[in-house]
Amino acid sequence: VINKTDLAPAVGADLAVMERDALRMRDGGPFVFSQ
């Protein structure tokens, strides 16, 4: 679970990078973005 995605812009986080990293680290397994 990648939580608090609504706060990402406020802290300079890039959701595209987070998605790329999750896909890589989860080896294609499931993950979800939530607010």
DSSP readout, 10-33? Answer: HHT--HHHHHHHHHHHTTT----B
Length of the chain counted residue by residue:
35
Residue 14: which residues within 8 A CB-CB, separation 6 or more?
8
What is the model's pTM? 0.77
pLDDT of residue 30: 96
pLDDT of residue 28: 87
pLDDT tens digits, one per residue of 1-35: 999 999 999 999 999 999 999 999 999 899 999 99
CA atoms of 2 and 4, how far apart (whole Å)? 7
How many other β-carbons are positioned within 10 Å of the β-carbon of residue 31?
A: 14
